[in-house]
Amino acid sequence: MANPNKKKIVLPVAPDTEAHGPVKHLYSKKVKLPYGVPGHNLTEMEREVSIDEPPALPINEKLNVLGKRTKRVDAIYKVTGAAKYTADIQLPGMLFGKFLRSPHPHAIIKSLDVSAARRYPGVRAVHVLLMEPGGSVERDSGHDAPAETYNMDQLPRLRYVGQPIAAVAAESQYIANEAVKLIKVEYETKPFVLELDKARKKGAPIVFEEVIEDGGNEGDVGVKAADEQKGNLRGPTTGSFLGGPRGDVEKGFAEADFVLEKEYRTQVQTHCCLETHGVVADWQPDLLTVYASTQNTAGVRDDLAELFGLPKSKVRVITEYMGGGFGSKFGAGHFGVMATMLSKKAGRPVKLMLDREEEHLSAGNRPNSHQMLKMGFRNDGKITAIDLTSYGTAGVGLGAGVGRVAQDMYECPNFRTAQYDVFTHAGPGAAFRAPGNVQGVFALEQMIDEAAERLGMDPVKYRDLIDKHEVRKIQRMKGAEAFGWKYKKPGSDPGPIKRGFGMAQGHWTRFINLNSSATVRINKDGSVAIMSSVQDIGTGTKTILAQVVAEELGLMAEDITVKIGDTLYPDGPGSGGSVTAGSITPAVRNAAYKAKMELLGQVAGAWDVELSDLDMKNGEVFSKTDSSKKMSFGEATKKMRTNQVMATASRPDDYGGFEIGNGIGYGRLGSVQFAEVLVDTETGFIKVERVVAAHSCGRPLNPLQVESQINGGVIMGIGYALYEDRILDLNTGYQVNANLEQYKLPYSKEIPQIETVLIEHYGAFSSTDASGIGEPANIPTAGAIANAVYNAIGVRLYELPLTPQKVLAALGVS
Amino acid sequence: MKNDSKERSPEKKKQGVSRRAFLRGAGMTTAGTVALASGMLSFKPAEPAPAKTALMGPGETEVSLTVNGQQRTLWIEPRTTLADALREHLHLTGTKVVCDRGSCSACTVWVDGTPVNSCMTLAVDVDGREVTTVEGLAKDGELHPVQEAFIEHDASMCGFCTPGMVMSCAGLLERNPNPSLDDVKLATSGNLCRCGTYPKVFDATLAAAKKMK
Ligand code: FES
Ligand code: FES
């Protein structure tokens, strides 16, 4: 049975090369597509594509809707409170669920008695998990007379504070909250280990005696086959889908004129989605309907279908609006499985939303890291060797690697990495906005700056020398210009408050999810709808889909109805790995094109003209040769023979094929950010004053929304750099700041002036040539701030978050 | 901590002190008062709560209030917060509950025109008073200028913080038609947005202020 806590389709890190080769076409055609960056190196690229592909789109400047700042189509529902999120769903007869969770970081349940909870007035169902953490698998199904008490052989070991044990469903949330406390549990506590360094030591309490078969792919790099699990250590992983070690690192160091060797540490960060994880599950004999706050409706459906032995056609998952996920909301989750179980038992819908504390404890986090980075440099700036060892803990989960930036961002013939996962008795990690790479950049980009200083070079110019990425070069240039970049001598300000400038860069692989399909439906009354299970997690997916169809049909975005986030429609991709825009928009455009051709064919018949003579633009259908033949889109649709024309399309292979297997596209999404900070050397406080963020995401579909995404990435990066830190009480294993007032986040007063620089970059990859931006926007921020802080005070900080205490310690102030 | 004495209410168990009891003493709290630097909640009581002489609870008690211009009478348990009364009893789910303890302002509504955190306000304490929620901000089918500007400037992303943001920003413009950027920051200083809409919230609010002139 699958583990429902396993986050699925976060990153297609294991491309399935054997299973599918590139798709073959009976008929193909050649199209010329824009290629490169307008104003720099724009040319055309000829690609051979399927005959079914729509014509090439010109660059944004020549389009009507795409590339234009377009209002979010659902903003009106958000600003008026009409948008219904999972947390807002109220169904007739709905019950409320509440979990009982482990109060101990490591314990055995000696006995468990639910009888008092079951008898509590208003309680309608109780369910006890009989599987290991996360494996909330239906094991006591078929208990017609469910057990009242359980013995220790039946119950899973508890491995973190907050691990779900059981739950009740009751007539109100108050009743559920009270009843769950009546579950009697006798615990036998065991020794536990919370700290990364201690968990690695000999004699540390072991988190998993057994080898964990589950690969776990929450993070990025750092998960290794089960046979490499020793004690709490798992790994090392020595490569990624981009390859393994290369060259000879020792030889590289021998050839270096100087070698830098440093240790860096990053903290555990929690996602803090405003809407907590949760579902409303409604088990009916003919259909299980689940409203879920998820980044992947199709994934939740697949999990529940598998776990409950239902055909996928009998599970419907709906996510109309969702209040943030940032990587943590994939799969049915223990709450999804539990709510479904309770609904099945009670015969009524059950709402089970985590509370804020549960959210921190059990719903995922960005693992911490301890990175040992060693790099060799020649006096001409060339990097001769990179050696990176890392340890990180995702608690009872896996995926605490530090990504691929060291492997892939700069030219270097000799590279080696060893990335270890370390198990601890803490809540499981989950994918978190550019997993791995955010941690990796904090180390790598500080070391690159150190080398630049050693070489007496400006950090921007030094990167121009060692970074061969074309687009990033333009980003550095444009970003530096917007920022007014001028190298300043570190720590050179007089007075106690010092200003500093810094920059850092990152990259993200172009992931494509080929399982991305959509239907476009044109109705006789002239209305148009898009349907797909893909969800809008706040990034603006609904709006860009409307824009894509509007562009194709010569309409405006607001003319299009977007029905997404429902598994009754064709499967869309999960929204993680920044795959959504690049995966679903070509499918939607291709479906719109097919539907358009169908409609035009019917109009051509009615007008008795050639199909090739017709086109659509500015709300009209017209003949290209006879200007008398013209009518509005709405009139044209009245000519349809049937009440609607509909077409479904799926994401084709990248034009020109994939770099690796299916789903990893050529080209990296580069990003460069510049930061200006003020550091008060008397109090240690750091204030970020200004950030310039230079990014590219292929063809930007809606610059207004891209800007918002970049702002969001930067602000989250500021939180990571300066404030956020999950703090566990070492005596109890309990998170002391499992709330939103002591877990520090950036609020309005911490927001700097943010300027975005958007580079249009055409790669001729698909019929929209769009890519995602969510993750790239978050990658370089903490690195840029760290470099700026160094520039301000002349002392480097190697550990996140950069708190006043650490600043003062680094300055030797006590 | 989690499994201590049975006689205490669930709220007491969770936080050591009874938050709801404390609320009653503190009266209502003004939204937008969480200071990151100190991590402290500062409570600025609004009008003193109307004195209730009779003992209430634990059963349901009658509360009547005006919500978005409509007179509503509810039978609710005295421990019910205004947020829950609005969401669960009146099905006005525009108001969001995110932290349920005064640290995010997602639940901001106006009581007699003043923004308050509705999760920190007992419904019985607003008996006889006037409540405006995000659903009631538009008048006669016309959006409030702040709502218009939020749409125009893309100040909502996932949108979960948006109702609270809108109520804080519109509340600011009601009392200060000519705010500076710092005023907007202060008015939203308790509003958490994890998606990072802040820069656009600032732009939108300043633009709305201009328009309202
Ligand atoms: S302040 Fe009320 S929900 Fe956060
Ligand atoms: S828009 Fe998502 S939290 Fe503010």
Residue B156 CA: nearest ligand 2 atom is: 1
- For A538, the closest of B95, B147, B158 (CB atoms) is B158
Sheet strand arrangement including A614-617? A614-617, A620-623, A630-632
Compute, in angstroms, the gap from residue A712 CA to the centroid of ligand 2.
Answer: 9
Pairing of strands A258-266, A369-377: antiparallel
The amino acid that residue A264 corresponds to is Y
Q: By CA distance, what is A83's nearest residue in B?
A: B94
Separation between Cα atoms, residue B73 and residue B90, nearest integer Å: 10
Q: Please report how many Cα atoms fall inside a 13 Å half-sphere around the Cα of residue A568, on the Cβ side.
A: 11
Q: Which of B98, B193, B198, B201 to mutate to test the pocket of ligand 2 (most atoms within 8 A of CB)?
A: B193
CA distance B35 to chain A (A): 9
The answer to whether residues B154 and B122 belong to one domain is: no
ipTM (interface predicted TM): 0.94
What residues does B81 pair with on adjacent strands? Answer: B122
Do residues A302 and A274 make contact, with C-beta atoms less than 8 angstroms apart? Answer: no
The answer to whether residues B122 and B157 belong to one domain is: no
Query: Is B32 a residue whose pLDDT tops 60?
Result: no
Q: Return the closest-CA partner of residue B163 out of B200, B189, B137.
A: B137
**DSSP-based three-state secondary structure for B180:** coil
The answer to whether residues B81 and B129 belong to one domain is: yes
The amino acid that residue A538 corresponds to is G
Query: Is A325 a residue whose pLDDT tops 80?
Result: yes
Helices (H), ranges, A272-364: 297-307, 333-346, 356-362
The answer to whether residues B150 and B202 belong to one domain is: yes
In this prediction, residue A424 has a pLDDT band, given cuts at 50, 70 and 90, of very high
Separation between Cα atoms, residue A329 and residue A638, nearest integer Å: 43
Query: Among B136, B165, B186, which residue terminates a domain?
Result: B136
What residues does A673 pair with on adjacent strands? Answer: A504, A693
**Residue A742, C-beta contacts closer than 8 angstroms, at least 6 positions apart:** A736, B39
The answer to whether residues B128 and B172 belong to one domain is: no
Q: Is B160 in the pocket of ligand 1 (CB under 6 A)?
A: no
Do residues A466 and A43 make contact, with C-beta atoms less than 8 angstroms apart? Answer: no
**Residue A143, C-beta contacts closer than 8 angstroms, at least 6 positions apart:** none
In this prediction, residue A211 has a pLDDT band, given cuts at 50, 70 and 90, of confident
pLDDT of A8? 32
Residue A305 structure tokens: 């279908």
Q: Which helix (H) or strand (E) holds A234?
A: strand A233-237
Domain count along chain B: 2
Residue B102 CA: nearest ligand 1 atom is: 1
Contacts of A271 in chain B (CB under 8 A): 194
Residue A511 structure tokens: 């992931």
The answer to whether residues B168 and B77 belong to one domain is: no
pLDDT of A202? 93
pLDDT of A346? 97
Separation between Cα atoms, residue A799 and residue A266, nearest integer Å: 6
The enclosing domain of B111 has a CATH number of: 3.10.20.30
Compute, in angstroms, the gap from residue B30 CA to the centroid of ligand 1.
Answer: 11
CA distance B145 to chain A (A): 11
The amino acid that residue A128 corresponds to is V
- Cβ-based contacts under 8 A for chains A and B: 197
Across the range A77-95, mean pLDDT stands at 98
Looking at all shown ligands, the one closest to residue A712's CA atom is 2
Separation between Cα atoms, residue A725 and residue A719, nearest integer Å: 9
Query: Among B136, B161, B179, which residue terminates a domain?
Result: B136
**DSSP-based three-state secondary structure for A333:** helix
Write down the residue that tokens 């901590």 correspond to: B1
**Residue A272, C-beta contacts closer than 8 angstroms, at least 6 positions apart:** A359, A360, A740, A743, A745, B192, B194
**DSSP-based three-state secondary structure for B39:** coil
With vertex at residue A432, the alpha carbon angle to CA B152 and CA A322, rounded to the nearest 5 degrees, is 45
Residue B105 structure tokens: 């302002």
The answer to whether residues B154 and B180 belong to one domain is: yes
Q: Is B28 in the pocket of ligand 1 (CB under 6 A)?
A: no
The enclosing domain of B178 has a CATH number of: 1.10.150.120
Do residues A414 and A381 make contact, with C-beta atoms less than 8 angstroms apart? Answer: no
**Residue A230, C-beta contacts closer than 8 angstroms, at least 6 positions apart:** none
More confident residue, B36 or B192: B192
Separation between Cα atoms, residue B155 and residue B197, nearest integer Å: 5
DSSP code for A314:
G
Do residues A426 and A195 make contact, with C-beta atoms less than 8 angstroms apart? Answer: no
The answer to whether residues B174 and B69 belong to one domain is: no
More confident residue, A135 or A736: A736
In this prediction, residue A76 has a pLDDT band, given cuts at 50, 70 and 90, of very high
The answer to whether residues B129 and B195 belong to one domain is: no
The answer to whether residues B17 and B109 belong to one domain is: yes
Sheet strand arrangement including A664-680? A497-511, A664-680, A686-696, A753-759
pLDDT of A567? 98
**Residue A691, C-beta contacts closer than 8 angstroms, at least 6 positions apart:** A673, A674, A675, A676, A714, A718, A752, A753, A754, A755, A781, A784
Contacts of B98 in chain A (CB under 8 A): 274-275, 356, 740
- Region of A484 please: left (phi>0), alpha (psi -120 to 50) or beta: left
Query: Is A526 a residue whose pLDDT tops 80?
Result: yes
Across the range A631-646, mean pLDDT stands at 94
Q: Is B108 in the pocket of ligand 1 (CB under 6 A)?
A: no
Contacts of B199 in chain A (CB under 8 A): 711, 751, 753-754
Verify whether residue A53 is a known catalytic residue.
no
What residues does B66 pair with on adjacent strands? Answer: B71, B130
pLDDT of A735? 98
Separation between Cα atoms, residue A176 and residue A170, nearest integer Å: 5
φ/ψ of residue A422, rounded to 5: -125, 125
Q: Is B207 in the pocket of ligand 1 (CB under 6 A)?
A: no
Separation between Cα atoms, residue B157 and residue B165, nearest integer Å: 12
Residue B190 CA: nearest ligand 1 atom is: 1
Q: Return the closest-CA partner of residue A509 out of A345, A658, A294, A376.
A: A658
Do residues A620 and A631 make contact, with C-beta atoms less than 8 angstroms apart? Answer: yes
> What percent of chain A clears pLDDT 70, i.e. is strictly above it?
93
Of the residues A558, A724, A775, A799, only one is catalytic, namely A775
Q: Which of B97, B134, B151, B158 to mutate to test the pocket of ligand 2 (most atoms within 8 A of CB)?
A: B158
Query: Among B101, B116, B136, which residue terminates a domain?
Result: B136
Q: Is B41 in the pocket of ligand 1 (CB under 6 A)?
A: no
Residue B194 CA: nearest ligand 2 atom is: 3
Query: Is A331 a residue whose pLDDT tops 80?
Result: yes
C-beta atoms of B135 and A81 within 8 A: yes
What residues does A352 pair with on adjacent strands? Answer: A279
Mutation for B interface: A748, A749, A754, A781, most B CBs within 10 A: A748
C-beta atoms of B143 and A80 within 8 A: yes
In this prediction, residue A209 has a pLDDT band, given cuts at 50, 70 and 90, of confident
pLDDT of A224? 58
> Over chain A, what is the mean pLDDT?
92
Walk me through the domains of chain A, giving residue ranges and CATH numbers. Answer: 28-83+512-650 (3.30.365.10), 86-190+276-322+329-362 (3.90.1170.50)
The amino acid that residue A384 corresponds to is T
Q: Return the closest-CA partner of residue B110 out of B149, B52, B163, B150.
A: B163
Separation between Cα atoms, residue A384 and residue A386, nearest integer Å: 7
Domain span holding position B39 = 2-136
pLDDT of A307? 87
Mutation for A interface: B103, B110, B194, most A CBs within 10 A: B194
- For A80, the closest of B147, B186, B200 (CB atoms) is B147
- DSSP states along A122-157: TEEEEEE--SSTT-----STT-SS--SEEETTTSPP
> What percent of chain A clears pLDDT 90, i.e. is strictly above it?
84
Across the range A310-315, mean pLDDT stands at 97
Pairing of strands A560-564, A528-532: parallel
Residue ranges with strand state E in A535-584: 560-564
Q: Is the peptide bond between B58 and the residue preceding it cis, with omega within 30 degrees of 0?
A: yes
Query: Is A730 a residue whose pLDDT tops 60?
Result: yes
pLDDT of B2? 36
Q: Return the closest-CA partner of residue B86 out of B102, B104, B106, B58.
A: B106
pLDDT of A213? 63
Sheet strand arrangement including B114-117? B70-76, B61-67, B130-132, B108-111, B114-117
Q: Which helix (H) or strand (E) holds A603?
A: helix A580-607
The answer to whether residues B8 and B109 belong to one domain is: yes
The pLDDT tens digits for A480-508 are 999 999 989 999 999 999 999 999 999 99
The answer to whether residues B118 and B154 belong to one domain is: no
- For A274, the closest of B79, B158, B190 (CB atoms) is B158
Looking at all shown ligands, the one closest to residue B163's CA atom is 2
Residue B105 CA: nearest ligand 1 atom is: 1
The pLDDT tens digits for B55-95 are 887 889 999 999 999 999 999 999 999 999 999 999 999 99
Query: Is A141 a residue whose pLDDT tops 70?
Result: no
C-beta atoms of A81 and B134 within 8 A: yes
Looking at all shown ligands, the one closest to residue A85's CA atom is 2
CA distance A278 to chain B (A): 13
Chain-centroid distance, C-alpha A595: 32
- For B194, the closest of A178, A181, A324 (CB atoms) is A324
- DSSP states along B99-165: SSSSSS-TTEEEETTEEEEGGGSBGGGGTT-EEE-GGGSSBTTBPPHHHHHHHHTT--SS-SSHHHH
